[in-house]
């Protein structure tokens, strides 16, 4: 039950310095510079990381845990994601979403997949609904799903400015945001509307109108994929000044154009005076990454992977962003947005989710809820059907 990680360069994500971290069960029970003395009878597992960086486990706030896709027929549906597709990338918490296909995939399957990942040792949540209005729900309303279903923390990903959306009106959009916000108040959950942003010329205009015309707090409106093209990103920078969190996607190689990388988006956002604590980065893991021409015909596609998150962290640090600042969009910022109060930071009483990075910022060891999932870069714990 006890695990001691010694001689770690600790980031909370704020720098703590060289120290030691002790976990018991699923919690951190000690973090400090003094090496705790543990009697042999406790049979603690001790690992000396010899000065390696130890950081909070990454929170992937946007992943298609049941698989995404489906834009070109049944064969284009991406399979559900397995446990190690997250943990090998340092992801210890994930939030599942539905996308284009919110008909053959639904809230029931999303909630069940979240529970399955929890059984396998990950921390998992999800949003209710998907691209389309009326929302696909389990209880009959977004408010009911958030209030009565433990894993459900918000609505999303609701498609805006995209030819695949149901073209919601402002009134429809505001009613959904109201449901999410009130449910969040009732439960202490995030209560956000996580908005898929497409390449449509209207961009973020609906979110801008919503903030200008309603009493719902701006933090409820949470656009994602804001770096998919440059005009959209410029709008997102302006929108964030109203108090929104904006989410960039760590697109894999070959899928960035015509936008900018998540790392570049963060640097530009910061340099333009944006509040760095309101910027998050997610992977779109398991999601299909299609590109369409002006008539809606598919021109290319790919699949998102959580592996892009440590790659993005490396890009940021290589470009001179200090490690604590580079970590925040993957850890503390996401935890604050989603109200995951025991996630995103290393501290006594927090969940024992941590990543040990090597000198090249690659994932070396991963602990999720107090158990090792990756050791020395190798998968140590697999999901049920990964073992078959």
Residues making up the binding site for Zn(2+)? 62, 64, 196, 225, 284
Q: For the chain, give me the number of helices (H) and strands (E)?
A: 10, 19
What residues contact residue 66 under an 8 Å CB cut-off, 6+ apart? 80, 96, 98, 105, 109, 110, 113, 286
Please calculate the CA angle 35-354-36 and round it to the nearest 5 degrees: 10
Q: Are strands 91-96 and 58-63 parallel, antiparallel or unpaired?
A: parallel
Burial 4-14 (b: 16+ CB within 10 A, else e): bbbebbbbbbe
Please calculate the CA angle 359-91-84 and round it to the nearest 5 degrees: 100
Backbone angles phi and psi of 327, in degrees to 5: -75, -30
**284: annotated active-site residue:** yes
Q: Are 334 and 386 in contact (CB under 8 A)?
A: no
Q: CA nearest 267: which of 324, 228, 336, 320?
A: 320
- The rounded distance, in Å, linking the Cα atoms of 226 and 248 is 5
**Of 60, 162, 284, 307, which one is the catalytic site residue?**
284
- The rounded distance, in Å, linking the Cα atoms of 199 and 251 is 15
- The rounded distance, in Å, linking the Cα atoms of 137 and 143 is 10
Q: Which sequence positions are flagged as catalytic?
A: 284
């Amino acid at each position: 039950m006890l695990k001691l990680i010694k001689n770690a360069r600790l980031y909370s994500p704020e720098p703590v310095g060289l120290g030691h971290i002790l976990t018991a069960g699923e919690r951190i029970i000690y973090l400090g510079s003094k090496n705790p003395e543990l009697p042999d009878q406790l049979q603690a597992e001790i690992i000396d990381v010899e000065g390696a960086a130890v950081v909070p486990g990454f929170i992937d706030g946007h992943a298609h845990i049941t698989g995404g896709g489906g834009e070109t027929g049944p064969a284009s549906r991406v399979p559900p994601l397995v446990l190690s597709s997250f943990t090998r990338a340092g992801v210890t918490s994930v939030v599942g979403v539905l996308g284009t296909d919110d008909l053959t995939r639904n809230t029931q399957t999303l909630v069940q997949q979240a529970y399955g990942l929890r059984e396998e040792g990950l921390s998992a949540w999800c949003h209710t609904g998907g691209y389309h209005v009326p929302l696909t729900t389990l209880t009959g309303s977004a408010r009911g799903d958030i209030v009565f279903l433990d894993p459900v923390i918000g609505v999303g990903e609701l498609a805006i400015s995209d030819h695949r959306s149901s073209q919601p009106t402002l009134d429809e959009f505001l009613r959904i945001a109201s449901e999410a916000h009130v449910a969040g108040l009732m439960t202490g959950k995030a209560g956000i509307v996580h908005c898929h942003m497409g390449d449509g010329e209207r961009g973020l205009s609906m979110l801008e109108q919503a903030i200008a015309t309603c009493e719902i707090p701006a933090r409820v409106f949470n656009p994602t994929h804001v770096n998919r093209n440059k005009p959209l990103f410029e709008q997102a920078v302006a929108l964030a000044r109203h108090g929104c969190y904006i989410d960039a996607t760590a697109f894999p190689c070959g899928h960035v154009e015509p936008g900018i990388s998540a790392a570049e988006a963060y640097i530009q956002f910061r340099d333009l005076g944006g509040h760095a604590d309101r910027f998050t980065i997610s992977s779109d893991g398991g999601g299909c990454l299609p590109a369409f021409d002006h008539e809606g015909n598919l021109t290319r596609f790919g699949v998102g992977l959580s592996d892009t998150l440590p790659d993005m962290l490396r890009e940021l640090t290589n470009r001179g962003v200090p490690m604590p600042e580079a970590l925040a969009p993957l850890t503390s910022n996401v935890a604050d947005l989603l109200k995951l109060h025991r996630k995103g930071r290393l501290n006594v009483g927090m969940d024992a989710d941590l990543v040990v990075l090597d000198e090249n910022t690659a994932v070396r060891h991963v602990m999720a809820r107090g158990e090792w999932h990756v050791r020395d870069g190798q998968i140590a714990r697999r999901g049920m059907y990964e073992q078959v």
